[in-house]
Chains A and B, each alone.
Chain A
Amino acid sequence: MNLQQRISRRDALKIGAVSAAAAGLTLAGCGPSASAGGPTSVNLMTWGDATGLKTAFDSIAGIYPSLAKDIKFNVVVAGANDFDVANAFRLALSSHKNIPDVIEFNRTQIAEFALSGALRDLSDIISPVKNDLYAGAVQLASYQGKFVAVPFQVKSKLFYYRADLFDQAGITLDDLSTTDGFLTAGQKLHAKFPDKYILNLGTQPQQYIIGELLSAYPGVEFYDKASNSYQITKNPAFSQAFTFLQQIHGAGITLPIDDFSNDWAQAFQKEQICGVLCANWMKAFLPQYSTAAQTGKWKVVPWPKLSPTLSDQSTGSEAGGSVFVIPANAPHADAAIEYMKHYMLDATGSVAQWKQNGVITPLLKSAQPAVLDFFQNGTKPANVTDASWALQPQNFFGKDFQQIEFTSYDSVKVLDYDPSATKEITILLQALENILGGKAGVASALAQAQSDMQSQIGNPYQA
């Protein structure tokens, strides 16, 4: 039989074709290889969406042509969440491959890397502008006294409220300055408008509320190195903060809808929420949800102090904000430093990128006049629709908004996070959910959180 000849050729063809296909697809699936020669590549690793950072580079390279010539800028997206970036960095450190030149982190994440020496010391570029940066930005940049990060986005605490409805209900801002006063004001508002509430708080809040409340306390930390123990049950800050949330939740003055739930945006549109104890980034969301119909009705101020029970809540920060770090072993550290010097640490550069995206405000006080001028007097750019122009903060909140935001930067206090901050906050959030869901009291939930942290983390400072 002639089987052997015919079959083997066909078999060989088959196998060859399939292997070629597989190889071809594998290659196609591999990422683009780094370019060789010419301008230096600077790889910036972030999470989520890369377009903002890319346009920022383009706008800065537009002003400083030497950057455009010398730097080839790549943004690498490690995943959808910030922990993807942390993991990618950990893996890069262990394999000594693909170490990025710049990494965007949330300020809560850098403790682990700063302590292990994986981050380059950035005193040489930050110290010169130290006095020009807002106090909050300086705190962002430092960890335990050393400058290891370039501040990127500062998160300060802002209270947004419906001034018109507060007036109608007879509530003034002074009424809110104590926790009891806040409760009474909330009840007054709800009595006057049965379908409206002073705040929204369901049983599954976002975790930033914890950071916002705790950061107002001076010197609060989750773990005390000196006594080698967790402070959740020992430091009154935790029980005070959680008791406050339990109180306002139980008093019937909060709309039982959580931030970033499906119903939250609708609730703004239906004017059910009259106040938001939140952060400055809410300026990008609140107008969208409330729509232009509520233009001018919302006012923005720092948080009410809620003293004496809650320290001074007009200060603090949800998580500090986000920062750029440069790994100690970054392959193109010099080029990366060049870029950083012209980016957030440069007045002109940071204003240029801010004009593009309107979100990342310049953190240098010397840039303030330019920002305020553009904010208050700028005209609608050609590529922005009328509808979205109406929702920009200067048009929705009023021309004084930016000044208020800048002032709040000086009240930012960054909590002293330890390397296991993410896990600790998750455990605290579970405790909070138990409290708000009525499954546990404040004391027992915090005790549970304390023992969870002890058994799950142990000592966050050990390698």
Chain B
Amino acid sequence: MMATMPIKRNDRSQAQRRVQIFLMYVLLAVVVLFSLYPPLMMLINSFKSNSEININPGGAPQHVTGANYQQIGAENSGVLIAGVIALFVGTLLTLVLTKYMFPRRNAIIAGLVSLIVLGVIPLTVASGGLLRNFLNTVIVATITTIFAVLFAALAGFAFAKYRFWGRNALFTLLLATIMVPTAITLPPQYLIFSQLNWIDTYQVQIIPFLTPVFGLFLIRQYMLTIPDSLIEAARIDGANDWLIFWRIIVPVASPVLAVFGIIQFLNMWNSYIWPQVMANDPSVAPLMLVLPNLRDPVIGFLPVWGTIMAGCVLATLPILILFLTNQDKFMSGLTVGATKE
């Protein structure tokens, strides 16, 4: 308890305090308004027709219309149906597996995997349109995250818990490459991937992003703190290294793996410069690439703000939901590894 000091309170200082507190609330209200107004605007404008946005960009919609969202699903009734089926079956599978498979975590993983596999069906059916681009983003982000986390976890474990020849030198070298911007590899990768015929595919968007060094750093830092006694105990029980990794390390390190996974997912979700050069064919392009180019089909160059805003909402919603349900992981990652985007 704080030692209480004799403080002379008089009316004037109390009034001063009240004013100060009021001003602080005002300041915070301004910040909240500043932070929330643009996404709110995005949501509101997505319910206005394109022409109304030109007349009334800032206020509430005079005619609320879902036409923009219809536009997103326009060419894709097949996708929507297949997607709904996939979602339904995938969720069912997950529930069933959760009941009969142990531990729960594996069941959820299996369910998610089946969801992804089923996602192939909508893809092959999807003709085009924003929904296809949305699916592209989901696919690329998910696959990259899964494999990036796997690779970094394996390597981080080795760097943290094993001593081997070249360990320190290698790790320092890897850290040094953090300063090398990814964009350096754009010209050569463009040439290399065209030789491999990988331009305008999914793999060109996935493979170069499987090894972010900051993730390795993050995971290694965390794994260093795992007590060796845990590992020793497992060894005594006869487990080999592979088992130790999957049964001990991964569960114990799951917080940092989740944090890294979220950061990587967010980065892949936002990727723009890479697909702009490597994958701008509409059937594989991510949603981010297509949104700024949406134009009025009749007139030609005028942006269709209503549809664009609806697409932005579509682009934002998954991450927002992920954020609201996992706030701590989103925000703690910054301070452990201090990365943004």
Chain A interface (Cβ < 8 Å from any Cβ of B): 1, 3-4, 7, 10-11, 13-14, 17-18, 20-22, 24-26, 28-31, 77, 79-80, 84, 88, 91-92, 94-95, 97-98, 260, 262, 265, 285, 288-289
| Interface members, chain B 80-110 (any A CB < 8 Å) | 106, 109-110
Contact, CB under 8 Å: B243 / A4: yes
Q: Quick one: given A4-B243, A11-B246, A21-B116, are A28 and B123 in contact (CB under 8 Å)?
A: yes
- Report the separation of the CA atoms of residues A335 and B218 in the bound assembly, to the nearest whole angstrom: 58
- Report the separation of the CA atoms of residues A1 and B299 in the bound assembly, to the nearest whole angstrom: 71
Choice from B106, B146, B147 contacting A10 with Cβ under 8 Å: B106
Choice from A17, A77, A94 contacting B113 with Cβ under 8 Å: A17
- Report the separation of the CA atoms of residues A218 and B201 in the bound assembly, to the nearest whole angstrom: 47
Contact, CB under 8 Å: B120 / A288: no
Contact, CB under 8 Å: A7 / B243: yes
Q: Closest CB of chain A to B79's CB: distance in Å?
A: 13
Choice from A4, A262, A289 contacting B303 with Cβ under 8 Å: A262
Contact, CB under 8 Å: B280 / A29: no
Contact, CB under 8 Å: B191 / A91: yes
Contact, CB under 8 Å: B203 / A26: yes
- Report the separation of the CA atoms of residues A363 and B282 in the bound assembly, to the nearest whole angstrom: 32
Q: Mark B271-293, 1 if CB is under 8 A from A, else 0.
A: 00000000011111000000001
Question: Is residue B327 contacting chain A, with contact meaning CB distance below 8 A?
Answer: no
Contact, CB under 8 Å: B143 / A25: yes
Question: Is residue B237 contacting chain A, with contact meaning CB distance below 8 A?
Answer: yes
Contact, CB under 8 Å: A288 / B201: no
Contact, CB under 8 Å: B237 / A29: no
- Report the separation of the CA atoms of residues A130 and B199 in the bound assembly, to the nearest whole angstrom: 39
Q: Which residues of A contact B202 (CB under 8 A)?
A: 25-26, 29
The residue on B at minimum CB distance from A29 is B202
Contact, CB under 8 Å: B123 / A3: no
Q: Closest CB of chain B to A274's CB: distance in Å?
A: 20
Q: Which residues of B contact A260 (CB under 8 A)?
A: 301
The residue on A at minimum CB distance from B302 is A265
Q: Which residues of A contact B106 (CB under 8 A)?
A: 10, 14
- Report the separation of the CA atoms of residues A116 and B281 in the bound assembly, to the nearest whole angstrom: 28
- Report the separation of the CA atoms of residues A262 and B197 in the bound assembly, to the nearest whole angstrom: 38
Choice from A3, A11, A28, A94 contacting B239 with Cβ under 8 Å: A3
- Report the separation of the CA atoms of residues A322 and B115 in the bound assembly, to the nearest whole angstrom: 46
| Interface members, chain B 158-217 (any A CB < 8 Å) | 190-191, 194-195, 197, 199-203
Contact, CB under 8 Å: B201 / A30: yes
Contact, CB under 8 Å: A95 / B243: no
Contact, CB under 8 Å: A84 / B280: yes
The residue on B at minimum CB distance from A91 is B194
Contact, CB under 8 Å: A31 / B200: yes
Contact, CB under 8 Å: A289 / B299: yes
Q: Mark B128-170, 1 if CB is under 8 A from A, else 0.
A: 0000000000010001001100000000000000000000000
Q: Closest CB of chain B to A229's CB: distance in Å?
A: 29
Q: Closest CB of chain B to A268's CB: distance in Å?
A: 11
- Report the separation of the CA atoms of residues A91 and B106 in the bound assembly, to the nearest whole angstrom: 44
The residue on A at minimum CB distance from B300 is A285
Q: Which residues of A contact B139 (CB under 8 A)?
A: 25, 29
Q: Which residues of A contact B146 (CB under 8 A)?
A: 18
Contact, CB under 8 Å: A95 / B300: no
25 A-B contacts (beta carbon < 8 Å): A1-B237, A4-B243, A7-B243, A7-B247, A14-B106, A21-B116, A21-B117, A21-B120, A22-B147, A25-B123, A25-B139, A25-B143, A25-B202, A26-B201, A29-B201, A30-B201, A31-B201, A94-B194, A95-B194, A95-B197, A262-B302, A285-B300, A288-B298, A288-B300, A289-B299
Contact, CB under 8 Å: B247 / A79: no
Q: Quick one: given A1-B238, A3-B243, A288-B299, are A24 and B117 in contact (CB under 8 Å)?
A: yes
Choice from A25, A79, A91 contacting B280 with Cβ under 8 Å: A79
- Report the separation of the CA atoms of residues A92 and B199 in the bound assembly, to the nearest whole angstrom: 11
- Report the separation of the CA atoms of residues A91 and B191 in the bound assembly, to the nearest whole angstrom: 7
Question: Is residue B267 contacting chain A, with contact meaning CB distance below 8 A?
Answer: no
Q: Quick one: given A4-B243, A79-B281, A289-B299, are A95 and B195 in contact (CB under 8 Å)?
A: yes
Question: Is residue B270 contacting chain A, with contact meaning CB distance below 8 A?
Answer: no
- Report the separation of the CA atoms of residues A29 and B139 in the bound assembly, to the nearest whole angstrom: 10
Q: Which residues of A contact B195 (CB under 8 A)?
A: 94-95
Q: Closest CB of chain B to A214's CB: distance in Å?
A: 24
Contact, CB under 8 Å: A17 / B201: no
- Report the separation of the CA atoms of residues A143 and B110 in the bound assembly, to the nearest whole angstrom: 61
- Report the separation of the CA atoms of residues A1 and B246 in the bound assembly, to the nearest whole angstrom: 15
Choice from B110, B123, B284 contacting A17 with Cβ under 8 Å: B110
- Report the separation of the CA atoms of residues A202 and B78 in the bound assembly, to the nearest whole angstrom: 46
Choice from A7, A20, A30 contacting B246 with Cβ under 8 Å: A7
Q: Which residues of B contact A31 (CB under 8 A)?
A: 200-201, 281, 283
Question: Is residue B124 contacting chain A, with contact meaning CB distance below 8 A?
Answer: yes
Q: Closest CB of chain B to A259's CB: distance in Å?
A: 9
The residue on B at minimum CB distance from A1 is B237
Contact, CB under 8 Å: A28 / B113: no
- Report the separation of the CA atoms of residues A4 and B238 in the bound assembly, to the nearest whole angstrom: 10
Q: Which residues of B contact A30 (CB under 8 A)?
A: 201
Question: Is residue B114 contacting chain A, with contact meaning CB distance below 8 A?
Answer: yes
Q: Which residues of B contact A84 (CB under 8 A)?
A: 280
Q: Which residues of B contact A24 (CB under 8 A)?
A: 117, 120
Q: Closest CB of chain B to A394's CB: distance in Å?
A: 19
Contact, CB under 8 Å: B117 / A20: yes
Contact, CB under 8 Å: B191 / A17: no
Q: Which residues of B contact A20 (CB under 8 A)?
A: 117
- Report the separation of the CA atoms of residues A88 and B119 in the bound assembly, to the nearest whole angstrom: 30
Q: Which residues of B contact A11 (CB under 8 A)?
A: 246
Contact, CB under 8 Å: A265 / B120: no
- Report the separation of the CA atoms of residues A409 and B320 in the bound assembly, to the nearest whole angstrom: 56
- Report the separation of the CA atoms of residues A386 and B120 in the bound assembly, to the nearest whole angstrom: 43
- Report the separation of the CA atoms of residues A68 and B237 in the bound assembly, to the nearest whole angstrom: 73
